[in-house]
Structure 1
Amino acid sequence: MAQAAAQESRAVQATIGDSEFDRDTAVTLREEGVYDAELSAGWTIIHAVNGGYLLALLGRALGEALPHSDPFSVSAHYLTASVPGPAVIRTQVVRTGRTLSTGEASLFQFAEDGTEIERIRVLATYGDLDGLSDDIRTSAEPPAFPPLEQCLGTSDGASVIPGSSAITERLDIKLDPATVGWAVGAPSGKGEMRGWFGLADGRDADPLSLLLTVDALPPTSFELGLKGWTPTVELTAHIRCRPAPGPLRVSITTRNLAGGFLEEDADVWDSAGRLVAQSRQLARAPRG
């Protein structure tokens, strides 16, 4: 009850631009195209910093470096595992146009001898989501799963998201009971993960936080009967429209695990029933 009350209290206070997520993805301009950042330990999974958090961090830097502020398509290659601590982001404007601009960014950290290690490299296209056409022709439908109060989170007993994972304290995830068999030793084998998603302090979603959302649920490999870290190799996210306030519905599927790698396709729906983000990533299957 105390934890729920604390979450409710935080939910009243956090807003877009004034939340833990915003503070922890802040970047400081050092010189043209170069930004300093601090990778927070609060967004770690086991020993590494979450890939979606990193994507949002670089996404913020590109939003400042480019003439357009909203991410449309962001493709990232994860080169080495990031750790909490200082980092440098170097950006480059590739092309600017009337409605779209393209840029690239790399995040670097430092070895013990002071040399730089590139952690992640991104190529992205930005635009203005508010300027998009209202014409929608789609066969996509929101995933069907129980209402939020009937889904399972870490406050419902045993931890639904295992491991020394500080990020779980910053997320409000309620998983579809049909996709949590792995938590009780009975994975379905279907490679599916579905649930409700929000930030624990109540901050509503925006285009930048959607870059975190697509990589925030437990990996589908858990429901395939595999345990352990599932590191992302490459992730491409498409932001389709500005999300309405309220919890998000997230559906992630894997159709093929082969050669030690798997793909994860994610769809994110807002409270108005609109498809607001999509992603595909290639990840290394857990070795445990």
Structure 2
Amino acid sequence: MPEAAPAPTAPRATVGDSEFDRDTALTRRAPGVYDIDLSAGWTIISAVNGGYLLAVLGRALADALPHGDPFTVSAHYLTASRPGPAVVRTEVVRTGRTLSTGQASLLQYDERGGEVERIRVLASYGDLDALPDDVRTTAEPPALPPMEHCFGPGDGPAPVSGSSAIADRLMLKLDPATLGWALGRPSGKGEMRAWFGLADGRDADPLSLLLAVDALPPTAFEIGVSGWVPTVELTVHVRCRPAPGPLRVSITTRNLAGGFLEEDAEVWDSADRLVAQSRQLARVRLGG
């Protein structure tokens, strides 16, 4: 009996032709002003993920500034964003030979049609390909088990009640050592590590790194706190253009106090290079 033909595999999406690119695409209404319909596909419960929103603003600034690569992006999250129409307003603050700086705000509309600011960003952009190759570092990639020994969102209970649509758009494989919370036995260490990519196979680029730093379950879960952990402020440093292949993301929290915690993230590419770093301040609801 002849062997059955292997099942066809879906083609990998490419940069510029993936769900991430379509859902972060903006329409320029006027110089520095952009319209977008925020996709419900990047939500956790009913709120749009902060990393996806940062990528939207990052794409607008890449168009508005003479340099195309984010080097440092600092965002303050003012109110929760919802799926639906939004406008991004950008302003060029300064342009130089190697770096340009701009600011951007994402706004939505209330029930009376008034604008409500959701996020405000200040960012500096440059050319990652122009950076020198000299690297001197004591940083080391996270020690992750092979991907086949890690677990994705479909392998266990949902981390929060309600919809987590963003999980369907990610290739996320979590280190079992950071999954005690999913078994009701959080370690108390405030650590989260995972293999990361986009579900359609699109390779990472500087804009998708803005998503990667905020796409893992909150470290608060491993501290023993459950529920929504909204971001107050997030700063991302993009260090180099990532090589093709899955990323490794490591996030740690050392201090939860007064209902707030910090998360320090490192993102490593398949060439063992530290391609992005971030720190965010997030709010937690204690007693969960």
Normalization by structure 1: what TM-score? 0.95
| Aligned equivalent of 1:272 | 271
Q: Distance in 2 between matches of 1:83 and 1:200?
A: 22
Partner of 1:29: 28
Amino acid at match of 2:240: C
| The structure with more helix, counted as a fraction of residues | 1
Paired amino acid for 2:193? R
1:264 and 1:280 in contact (8 A); partners too: yes
2:160 and 2:227 in contact (8 A); partners too: no
Task: Measure the CA separation in 2 of the matches of 1:168 and 1:13.
Answer: 18
DSSP 3-state at the match of 2:241: coil
Distance 1:132 1:117 in 2: 38
Q: Does the Cα contact within 8 Å between 1:13 and 1:202 map onto a contact in 2?
A: yes
- Give the drift of 1:44: 0.2
Paired residue total? 280
> 2:3 matched to which residue of 1?
none
The amino acid across from 2:67 in the alignment is H
Query: What whole-Å deviation, never above 9, does each CA across 1:46-96 have from its counterpart, x for those lacking one?
Result: 110000000000000000000000000000000000000000000000000
Q: Take 2:99 and 2:157, find their aligned partners in 1: how far apart are those partners?
A: 43
Q: Cα offset for 1:162?
A: 3.8
Q: What is the match of residue 141 of structure 2?
A: 142
In the alignment, is residue 204 of structure 1 matched against residue 203 of structure 2? yes
Task: Name the counterpart of 2:87.
Answer: 88
Task: Check conservation: 1:110, 1:116, Cα contact below 8 A.
Answer: yes
Match of 2:215 in 1: 216
Maintained 8 Å contact 1:39/1:83: yes
Unpaired runs of at least 5, structure 1: none
Partner of 1:187: 186
Determine the C-alpha separation between the residues in 2 that align with 1:255 and 1:231.
Answer: 18
**Corresponding letter in the other structure for 1:44:** T
Aligned to 1:230: 229
Normalised TM-score (structure 2): 0.95
Question: Does the alignment pair 1:97 with 2:121?
Answer: no
CA distances 1:71-122 after superposition (whole Å, capped 9, x unpaired): 0000000000000000000000000000100000000000010000000000
Q: Is the 8 A contact 1:153 1:160 kept in 2?
A: no
Q: Which runs of 5+ in 2 are unaligned?
A: 1-6
For residue 279 of structure 1, give the secondary structure of its aligned residue in structure 2: strand
SS in 2 for 1:135: coil
Q: CA deviation at 1:159?
A: 3.4
Which residue number in structure 2 is paired with residue 245 of structure 1? 244
Pair 1:128-2:147 in alignment:
no
How far apart are 1:203 and its partner, in Å? 0.4
Look up the equivalent residue of 2:157 and give its one-letter code.
S
Structure with greater Cα Rg? 2
What is residue 48 of structure 1 aligned with on the other side?
47
Q: Which amino acid aligns with 1:116?
A: E
- Residue 159 of structure 1, aligned match among 157, 161, 169: 157
CA contact (8 A) 2:160 2:228 kept: no
CA distance in 2, matches of 1:154, 1:278: 24
Q: How far did 1:155 drift? A: 3.6
Mapping for residues 163-182 of structure 1, pairs under 5 Å: 163=161, 164-182=163-181
How far off its partner does 1:145 sit? 1.9
Q: Segments of 4+ in structure 1 off by > 3 A?
A: 159-163
User: C-alpha displacement at 1:161, in angstroms?
Assistant: 3.9
| CA RMSD across the alignment | 1.2
TM-superposed deviation, 1:214: 0.2
Letter in 2 for 1:118: E
Q: Tell me if structure 2 keeps the 8 A contact 1:153–1:159.
A: no
